[in-house]
């Protein structure tokens, strides 16, 4: 008696691939064609290897939980601090902002900013301002948004004190603009001077 299966030939071409396509090889080949960087290819290769070695999502998650987090190496980057006597922010703001970006400053101290200090913003910077003794005075500390600035309570004209974190160590900026008509003494700052303190600005007092 002849059946459907008895008529099948052993040497017939299979209607389904005997071996499934190697997905990992396909992906890596495509990466090569797209001209990705070698480091990107290595990353994708390691991810795919981990996936296919584990076999299931549960096993992958289990492996990840066992891995101890490795602290990323800290890259040493220069800290650029700009100190500039503006002599009127209202008329020179564009010039000053251009300098900030040219020198790639992370922290800026501006003295003699005047009453129009807030007319033009520096993008991606937080500004701490203190009025001066006259309309042309005043001082500002500008802190890049990748850092965190915390202002200290010190209500003296032409003086701003800011702690800046987000670096390998916290630093303190004491920014001053003390013209001859402002009767101030550096001894007043002594209680605020700690480790990693930078006193900067413009003082015309003898």
User: For residue range 177-201, what is the model confidence (pLDDT) as tens digits?
Assistant: 988 777 777 888 999 999 999 999 9
Are 106 and 34 members of one domain? no
Radius of gyration of the chain, Cα coordinates, nearest whole angstrom: 32
Query: Is 4 part of a structural domain of the chain?
Result: no
Query: Is 75 part of a structural domain of the chain?
Result: no
Are 25 and 95 members of one domain? no
Query: Is 53 part of a structural domain of the chain?
Result: yes
- pLDDT tier, 15 (very low <50, low <70, confident <90, very high otherwise): low
Contact 128, 164 (CB under 8 A): no
Tell me the mean pLDDT in the region 82-98: 92
Query: Is 146 part of a structural domain of the chain?
Result: yes
Query: Is 124 part of a structural domain of the chain?
Result: yes
Are 163 and 120 members of one domain? yes
Are 62 and 104 members of one domain? no
- pLDDT tier, 20 (very low <50, low <70, confident <90, very high otherwise): low
Crossing angle between the packed helical segments 38-54 and 23-33, to the nearest 10 degrees: 170
The structural domain count of the chain equals 2
Query: Is 163 part of a structural domain of the chain?
Result: yes
Question: How far apart are the C-alpha atoms of 94 and 132, rounded to whole Å?
Answer: 22
Residue-averaged pLDDT of the chain: 81
pLDDT at 49 over 90: no
Q: Residue by residue, what is the 3-state secondary structure of 69-107?
A: CCCCCCCCCCCCEEEEECCCHHHHHHHHHHHHHHCCCCE
Residue-level pLDDT at 40: 75
Residue span of the structural domain in which 92 resides: 81-203
Query: Is 6 part of a structural domain of the chain?
Result: no
What is the strand order of the sheet 125-130 is part of?
A: 81-85, 107-111, 139-144, 125-130
Are 50 and 24 members of one domain? yes
What digits encode the pLDDT tens for the residues 1-14? 555 545 555 455 55
pLDDT at 116 over 70: yes
SS3 185: coil
Q: What is the CATH number of the domain that holds 168?
A: 3.60.10.10
Tell me the mean pLDDT in the region 90-101: 92
How many residues belong to the chain? 206
pTM, two decimal places: 0.61
């Amino acid at each position: 008696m002849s059946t459907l299966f008895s008529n099948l030939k052993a040497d017939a071409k299979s209607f389904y691939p005997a071996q499934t396509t190697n997905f990992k090889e396909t992906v890596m080949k495509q990466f090569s064609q797209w001209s990705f960087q070698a480091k990107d290819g290595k990353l994708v290769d390691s991810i795919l290897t981990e996936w296919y070695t584990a076999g299931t999502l549960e096993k992958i998650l289990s492996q990840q939980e066992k891995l101890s987090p490795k602290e990323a190496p800290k890259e040493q980057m220069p800290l650029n601090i700009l100190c500039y006597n503006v002599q009127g922010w209202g008329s020179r703001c564009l010039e000053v902002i251009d300098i900030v970006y040219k020198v790639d400053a992370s922290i800026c101290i501006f003295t003699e900013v005047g009453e129009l200090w807030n007319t033009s913003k520096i993008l991606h910077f937080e500004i701490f301002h203190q009025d001066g003794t006259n309309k042309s005075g005043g001082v500002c500390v500008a802190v890049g948004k990748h850092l965190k600035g915390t202002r200290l309570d010190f209500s003296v004209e032409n003086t701003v004190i800011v702690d800046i974190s987000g670096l390998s160590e916290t630093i303190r900026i004491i920014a001053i603009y003390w013209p001859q008509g402002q009767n101030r003494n550096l001894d007043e700052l002594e209680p605020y001077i700690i480790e990693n303190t930078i006193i900067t600005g413009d003082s015309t007092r003898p």
